[in-house]
Each structure stands twice: as structure tokens, then as C-alpha cells.
Structure 1
Amino acid sequence: MQQKLAADMSTTAVQTKGSPATAPRSVPALTVVSHPHPQRIGEQLLLEVLASVGRTAALSRNAPDFSRPGGLLALPLGDPFLSRTPVLFEPAAHGGLRLRVPEDGTQVCVAGESVAGGREFTQEELVAGVPLVLAERVVLLLHLASTAAQSAHRDLGLVGQSQSIQQLRDDILRVADLAVPVLIRGETGTGKELVARAIHEQGPRRSGPFVSVNLGALSKELVAAELFGAQRGAYTGASRDRDGFFRAAHGGTLFLDEVGEAPAEVQAALLRVLETGEVYPVGGHTPVPVDVRLVAATDSNLEARIEERLFKAPLLHRLAGFELRVPPLRERREDIGPLFLHFARQELETTGEGWRLSPTDPRAAPWLPASVAVRLLRYAWPGNVRQLRNVTRQLVIGSRGLPGLRVDSRLEQTLDAESLPVPGRVLAPAGAGVPEAAGEAKSSRRKPSEVGENELLEALRACSWDLKATADFLGIPRPSVYVLIDKSSLIRTARDLSPEEITRCFQECAGDLDKMVQRLEVSRRALQRRVRELGLSDA
């Protein structure tokens, strides 16, 4: 049962379930990404009270309760290192949110930066997700979530609770029992085959075969024979008749991945199959009827390929009887924790360390350290869920026998290479004697056009060529620093340096990267990347 807020709380309690009479809407939410009890990863709290102007949500050790979407059990964070004094969340202008941290309360960090007083986040930052670290032990993701009710039993094999994944599950159920072809769009590594299997398992053909084919991996010379079959002697090496994937999937589902890579002649044959329900084996003249549910997937822009005359428009129209979109991982960061827990459980079972997910000491350090959890949340994940699975395996196996997960230097560099900027605007501490308006004026942004070349150069030198620190120093967004550097005639970038110059400086500085940065006057991160590319290793 839902526990009540402590009686001494002066702020309004947070509800975790919306009224059934109200339409679903997006509200701020907190999702557990790391906790001393790892099984709590994925639990969520909806801050619905913030939808009302002037209302405040409070969060402490003892209240309110987090629960797994669709689940019945609800518990407060409960970690003994968290304070009973609550941190506060307040609505801000234009859909934003303010975080207030009292001096005698729990230490809170935002993506590694300690919060003193408060911080304000825009709606765009909430959409991207804001990592909050409490007492260096509990990591929460502050984000937007839907108030729509979720079922705990219809995950369809898809891990996650984000609004986009909920929508994907709904679309799968809408189309699964129909005979129309389905086109699944999504970046590589997002799990398009899992979606195709869910369509098959939820449809009337679930008892039939599910045949998966990656067109991009087939030989162009043999792709037609692989798909439609071939008669003996139809081509060199065809010593016997072969059925092909279409006939192998008869009565079931055929999943064609990377359909955008199909050669022109195969595209024409696919169109004919969709129109007639018949295939012509290579070397044959008699059509063979097939009863197949076709599900195709692509990470290509098929419309652009049509303009380039690489893909047939009629085939796209026939394949896309119904379209599904699988979101990239960077658009559903609240699912990173549950996905990590899912993959970690699989790996721990193979290593015989499954007990790590059920610790007995409530004061022990979290198995998933806060620093590692924040890195996972801030990484861009160009390889999506597949890459997260591989990173999880690397972490679990690389930390066998250790009390907590450890990130080696190579993986650390990978995760730090494409991380999001630290979100939020600093607010003046309460009772600091400075009006908030003055604090806002001090941290106000400037227009990048107001920054001259010499000022930019001096700021870079003062900040030791740390581009983020330089952006904060100048009061401009970090992307604008990159633009100004590219336009400047006074400043070089790491890509402007020759291999000989970098190697010579590396040797003269004995591999000290900080000395190299000061001598070459380029971004430290970019220089480090060039050093690695050249096979050098910094001390």
C-alpha cells in the first residue's frame, strides 16, 4: 500500500497515480537509475502535483513512495544516508522546473556538479533528462513521463517504461492480428527484430515459423535464390533445388531486415510477391504460392533513396501497410536503468554472481556506483540498445570478484567522449543575502556575437582550454564556443595539428597531456583523441 508522507512535511505530498477521469499528459517524473538495492532500478515517481501552479513536491529519505509502473508495491527511497529534510521541486516558467536544496539536507549533484541552493531546468532539458545524484549513493533521472496507466504484464519482450516505448507497444497490439505488411523504422541497434518477433507472437501466426533475414548480409549474386528459392542448375553451384526463405516462412512471418539494401531486381520480385502471393524460384517458370506475413525493417531514409533512384516507390507503399518507429536510446534515457538491470541480471547469472542484485547490508556502497550511472545517462549511445548491452557485459565481466562495478580507462574514455552538457541554471542559495533577480542577472547568457576573438582566446587560456568551463566563463552555450573557434583566425583546433607536431610535442612533454594542451593551445579532449589515434599513450 502507498505510504503516507511524514506529518511534519510542510509541502504537498506527491501523487503517483493520476485520476482516471483525466486525460493522459506529460508531467515531471523521477526514475531510479542506481540504488544500494539494485532491484529498485526502474522504479518511478510522477510529480503530478507540479502541474498545478504554486504547488511544490518534496523528496526525502522517508517520502514519497516510488513504485514500478504497473506494480503494486510502493516504497520511499529509504537509504539511511539520505536526509529526512526534503529537497523541493517547484514549477518554473515555460514548462521548466526548479530544484531547491536546503543547506541541512541531502547533498545533491547534477551530472557531477554539486548543487548549492538551487538549480532551474528548462522544458527542453527535462525532455532530454537530468541526472540527479543524492548523497553519492542514489541516482535519479528527472524527466517527463506520461500519466497514462501502464500494464506490468504486457511488456511484449520490450524493456522500458518511456512514453515512446509505451506507444510502440500499443502500435504492436493494434497491428499484430491484421494481415497487412509492417515496416519498422529505427536506427541500428534499437531492437527492430524484437519488435518484429512481438508482432509475430501477438498475431494469429504465432504457431507458425518466424524467419529472420538480414538482406544487407546476403551476397548480391545469391540474394534472389536465398529469398525465392532456386531450381537445380539455375546457377553455378546449384546442385539441388532449394526452397528459399519465403517458402521456409510459409504459414508464419518473414522478417526482412535492412530492406533498403535490396538490389533492384529483388525489389521488383518483392513487389510481385506482395501483389500476387507467389514467388518464382530462380531458374523456374512456374509460380509457387506462399502464405507469409511480411515484416520489413530499415535504418535508411527510404524516401531519400527513392529520390536517388535506389529504391522503388511502389515497394515502399506496399511494405508500409503500417509503420512503426523504434526510438533511439538517447530519446528514452529513463529506460537506460531498467535496460542495464535487465542485461546485468543476464550476465550475473552466467558468472554465478546473481546475489549482487540482492544485497543484505543497507549501508553498503551501491554495486552500480553513482559515477558510473551518471556516465551511462549522459552518453549519447550511437549504437543504441545493442551498445548498452555490450557495455553492460564489459562492466560486469570486468568487475568479477569486486564489490562494485569498475570502469576501465578505455571504457571511461568512450563514455566521456560523447556526453551531454551539464543541464540547468544555477540559482542563488536561499538566505544568501542576494536577491534571486541579481543571481539570475549574474548567470544570464550573452549572445555569441558579442564575444571577440581576443576575448575568446584569453578565456580559453584562463580555463586551461576546457571548452565547457570557457562557455560558462563567457556566459554562452558550449556549442557556440565550437562555432567561434572554427571562425577564429587566431585559434587552432586539434584537427589542424600535423601528426609530426603532435608526436614531437608528446615526446618533449614526456606524455604529459596537460603540458601538451598548454603548449599547443587546443582542447584537451580533442587532443587526447588525436593522441590515441596516433597510437601514443599519455602518462
Structure 2
Amino acid sequence: MRPPSFVDVSTVNVPERDADVPATRRVPALTLAVHPRVDRVGERALLSSAPGEAQALSRTEPLFHRPGQSGGRPLEDSFVSRKAVRLQVTPEGGVRVEPGEGSRLRVAELVLTGPWEFSAEEVATGVPLELAGRVVLLLHAASPGEEGGDTLGMVGASAGLQRVRAQISRVADLSVPVLIRGETGSGKELIARALHQASPRRQQPFVSVNLGAIPRELAASELFGARRGAFTGSVRDQDGFFQAAHGGTLFLDEVGEASPEVQVMLLRVLETGEVYRVGERVPLAVDVRLVAATDALLEQQIQEGRFKAPLLHRLAGFSLSVPPLRERREDLGLLLHHFAREEREAMGEPWPPSSGEPWLPPALAVRLLRHDWPGNIRQLRNVVRQFVIGSRGQSHPQLDAQLDAELPSITRTPMGRPAGKQATEGPAPASPPLRRRPSEIPEAELLTALREGDWDFQAAADRLGIHRTSIYHLIERSPGLRTAGTLGAEELARVHAATGGRLDAMVRTLEVSKRALARRLKELGLDVRED
């Protein structure tokens, strides 16, 4: 075996994370999320931030281009009006929008007929704008000079993704251990594979191990190997994952799940480049680049005595932080179409579809853009697979009842506020409440929000300032609340008869989700009447 190549991190001069990407001022931008030509998705136009200068948005201007590329093309769609929408950056970093006559500009369910203003915070979060019912643009903050494409196998051009790409490029050719931090489903293994592919070890093995999936009593032998007879059932010598990855990269996911015994052994191999197989006293030298990942707060685990501080210091020779999907909404259009193309090609269906209409319906795209994606990339891919397969043989994707219930409805109040006379019916919508932690919400407040929102979970979530999916978790932990799925057929039949099958009356009586109750009644063959 070759000598160990583990590097003492105290001798490695790795740039600080904040220095990986030059500090650039972020400016409002428009990125195409839906266009009749799918190859246009992901193109971007930066808005002028010059004082008093407005940017025109119409069929013929501005020019959209791939981040990092020169030139560009206007929207060109014949359904988009030539009469421009005007967008002006405010001194506070927000954006004032003035729709042109006949522009058919929509924010959520509201067609703008007068000036509208979005705050800097709303622009940073991302605001979907629907134009002529065919084009969806995301108004967001961007850094000039960002690159796009699928560099290093990662799709997108957001600032957070660019930071990760820069960090990978700086550390890939070193043998220093890397710790990848990020929420579940955010693509940590993809980052580890990109590190491997950009390193001199790319021709050698890449071995991926999920420590959370290995029984604790087997973790040591699986990682480091075992000598024959070392434990019951061990009838031959067994190589471990470290030996399998010799010369290449070993990726340890969910490293926070490692047992104390395994933590000690990991620390030793990081310090010496040697492993001891279970039941053996002679060490084996290994040449492995170790990349670990976690969504856990290891520092908190250290305080609780569940993780060893020296191991964290060794694992984090260099740290990478993967941004959650909700912080890179400008990448959503590209990711949606990327996953859809993969699914359609796997089914033998053509891509791009030969239709003059947008493949992704704008109303559906707006819902996807407004979703918080608590499961990140993994959840996004599953959602795309669900509606692509569910719409197999159709020209455009459709949502089934389950996905329709999970995604936020666009019939919510939009972000922003009127910046002048707004010719729409009804009161001006208010800005949504600030996000809160679900754990801060008591059962009484949850019940009040559900009742005030007529048991519409999205409305209740908006009132409470939490994500829709958190409503389900809160109900599960609240003994005084229940779901439609837990209602017995006898009780449902009794209430159905008492209310004459009026759905709203049944919702008020049973105090459960209206959508879920309608599905439950349909399953039982009970007709419902809308009040």
C-alpha cells in the first residue's frame, strides 16, 4: 500500500470561506423560470440600479442571457405585449413595478393595474411574476458576474451555489479532510462527488457510506474491516470501506450518527493514516481522502457529550456550507426542467416537448417557486417525478390530489404593497407575517388560526408565519386536534346526515382540513354540497 496521505490541517493554508467569492453588491434581477421555449429557462437580466432609471420589460426588451455569457435575446414571445412594464430599483433596494397597458402582469392571483412595490427583503426571498399567462420570471437579488450551467455537475447560477463551486475548486486538489454541512436533502453527496471528480483522485474509487443506515454494532467492522473470528458469524477476513476507498475518496454521510467507539477509531485514522481491523492488532496503512457530511449541530452534540471535539476539528480541515433550496429560488426553473427532462427521457418521451405552449403551466410554476422546500433538492426531485409520471402521455404536467394539497396555493395574498392607485377589487393585500418556529406556537393559537382560516391549512400557515407542512406536524403533537384521516365512517355518516352533506358545515362541526375531508367523503361514497 502507498503511504498515508492524510494532511495535518494545522499546516494547510486554506482560504477562509468568506474569501472564496469576491464580495459583490447584489442587485435585483429577473430570471426566466417558464418560457414557451424551454432552452430559455435560466436566462437572466439584471435591473439597472441607477437613481431614477427604470428598466423596461416587454416583448422586445431587456436582453436575457445565460449568467456568465455575453449577448442576449429579448422575450420574443408574441403573446407578451410590446407595451413595457417598468421596474425601478428603490433607494432601499426594493423594486417598484408599473404595469404597462395590456401587459397582463400577475403577482399571485392579482393582476396588477397600478404601481406595486416590493421590499428589499421580498426581492431577496424571490417574487414570481407571471406575464401574459405564458412567461414566469423570478424577481430576485443577484451578483453581477455569476456563472451558470451545470459546472461540476451542479445545476444553477445562484450566489450560494457559486460560493460552493469556488470552495470546491480551492480545496479539491488537497488531501485535507472536508466537512460538508447542510440541511437534509440539500445535495451534500453531490458536493462530495464533485470534490472527488475535481481532485487528482478522480480515477480512483469514490465510496459513499451513510453512517445512519449502518447498525451501530456493525459500524466498526463495516468501516475498518474485521479479522476472521472477531465476532459471531465472522467466517473470513473482511475488508472495510476505508480499504475499498484506498487511493480515492471516502464519503461519510450523517457523521453525527457515529458511535463513541467509531469516533475514536475515525480520529485515529485521521491522525495516523492507519486502520485497525476489528480483532486485529497490526495496523493497515490507507491512502484515503475523507469527506464527511452532516445536517446535525455537532457543536451542540459536543456540549451534550455525544460527539468528540477533537474529531470535529479533524473532520473540518475545511468546511463547506450547502445553501438550502429556499435560498436559491432563482435556480428552481433550471432544476425543475433538468429533473423533468431526466424523467421524460427515462420514460422514452421526447424532450423538449414539441409544443408552442410552455411545458410547465405558469400557475403551477408559481406555486413551485413559492414553496419553501423543507426537503430541498431531494423533495423537489420527488415532486417532479410524481407529476411527470402522473401526467405520462399528456402534453403538460398535472398535479394529483396529494401534490395539490402539499403545495401552496397561489390564491394567497401576494407579497408587496400598492405603490399608488391600484385598480383591483377588494382591499389591498397585506405583507405576509414573518417566519416563526413551529415549536413556538401553542395549541390554542394553532386552533384559533385554523378556525379563522376556515380550516384551510395554507391560510392558517400564512397567519402563523410558518410553512404549510408544519401545520400537519403541529396537529399531530396536539392532543386536542385531529385529522380527517382519523375520523371513523360512522361519525362521518352521522355528521353528513345532520348537515345535509354541506361541506363547509361539516368542516365547522368536525374541525378538520376541508380538502382532506372532501377526499375522505369521496372515499366513502358520500356526496358533498358546497355552501
TM-score (normalised: structure 1): 0.80
Aligned position for 1:219: 215
User: Where in structure 2 are the equivalents of 1:249-398 lying within 5 Å?
Assistant: 249-355=245-351, 357=352, 359=354, 364-398=356-390
| Pairwise CA distance, 1:127 | 1.1
Shift in Å at residue 105 of structure 1? 2.7
Partner of 2:244: 248
1:118 pairs, out of 108, 115, 123, with: 115
Report the AA paired with residue 44 of structure 2. Q
Matched position secondary structure for 1:270: helix
Deviation at 1:81, TM superposition (A): 0.9
Q: Secondary structure at the match of 1:390?
A: helix
Q: How does 1:180-259 map to 2 (within 5 A)?
A: 180-259=176-255
Secondary structure of the residue that 2:151 maps to in structure 1? coil
Residues 35-84 of structure 1: per-residue CA shift (max 9 Å, x gap): 1112211111111x1x2211111100111111111334521111111100
Matched residue SS, 1:94: coil
Q: CA deviation at 1:118?
A: 2.2
Change (3 A) 1:333 1:470: closer
1:23 deviation in Å?
6.9
SS at match of 1:429: coil
Assess if the C-alpha contact under 8 Å between 2:61 and 2:75 holds in 1: yes
Paired residues, number: 478
* Residue identity matched to 1:479: L
Residues 302/204 of structure 1: CA separation in 2 closer, same or farther (3 Å cut): same
The structure-2 alpha-carbon separation of the partners of 1:279 and 1:409, relative to structure 1 and needing over 3 Å to count, comes to: same
Aligned to 2:135: 138
Give the stretch that moved more between structures: 258-267 or 36-45.
Answer: 36-45
What is the match of residue 60 of structure 1?
58
Report the CA distance between 1:101 and its aligned residue.
Answer: 0.9
Distance in 2 separating the partners of 1:271 and 1:193: 22
Residue pair 1:39, 1:358 contacting (<8 A) in 2 also: no
Q: Is the 8 A contact 2:182 2:323 kept in 1?
A: yes
The answer (yes or no) to whether the contact 2:325–2:377 under 8 Å persists in 1 is yes
What is the letter of the counterpart of residue 143 of structure 2?
S
Amino acid of the residue matched to residue 325 of structure 1? S
Write the letter of the residue equivalent to 1:279. Answer: V
SS at match of 1:297: strand
Distance 1:468 1:54 in 2: 38
Counterpart contact for 1:182–1:319, Cα < 8 Å: yes
Partner amino acid for 2:505? K
Structure 1 residue 442, shift from structure 2 partner: 7.7
Q: Hey, what does 1:479 align to over in structure 2?
A: 464
228-237 or 373-382: bigger deviation: 373-382
1:470 Cα deviation from its structure 2 partner: 10
Q: Indicate the residue corresponding to 1:45 in structure 2.
A: 45
- Return the letter of the residue paired with 2:302: I
5 Å matches for 1:76-155?
76-102=74-100, 104-150=101-147, 152=149, 155=151
Greater shift, 333-342 or 68-77, is seen at 68-77
Q: The residue matched to 1:255 in structure 2 has which SS?
A: strand
Give me the whole-angstrom Cα distance separating, in 2, the residues matched to 1:531 and 1:372. 22
Do 1:87 and 1:105's aligned partners in 2 also have CA atoms closer than 8 Å? no
Q: Report the residue type matching 1:515 in the other structure.
A: A
Sequence identity percentage: 53
How much has 1:404 moved relative to structure 2? 1.2
Q: Which amino acid aligns with 2:463?
A: R
Map of 1:7 onto structure 2: none
* CA deviation after TM superposition for structure 1 residue 416, in Å: 2.7
Q: Letter of the aligned partner of 2:277 in structure 1?
A: P
Stretch of structure 1 that moved more, 504-513 or 399-408? 504-513
Secondary structure (helix, strand or coil) at the match of 2:122 reads helix
| The 10-residue stretch of structure 1 (88-97 or 383-392) with the greater mean CA deviation from structure 2 | 88-97
Structure 1 unaligned residues grouped into runs of 5+: 1-21, 435-440, 449-456, 472-476, 487-492
Question: In structure 1, the residue corresponding to 2:379 is in which secondary structure?
Answer: helix
Contact 1:375 1:419 in 2 (8 A): no
Q: Secondary structure at the match of 1:221?
A: helix
Change beyond 3 A, Cα 1:461–1:272: closer
Question: What do residues 115-170 of structure 1 show as CA deviations (whole Å, max 9, x unaligned)?
Answer: 22122111111111101111111111110011134265x71011111100000000
Equivalent residue number for residue 423 of structure 1 = 415
What letter corresponds to residue 478 of structure 1 in structure 2? R
After TM superposition, give the deviation of residue 175 of structure 1 in Å.
Answer: 0.7
AA at the equivalent of 2:193:
R
1:340 is paired with a residue whose SS is: helix
User: Offset at 1:422?
Assistant: 2.5
Measured in 1, the distance between the counterparts of 2:377 and 2:353 equals 25
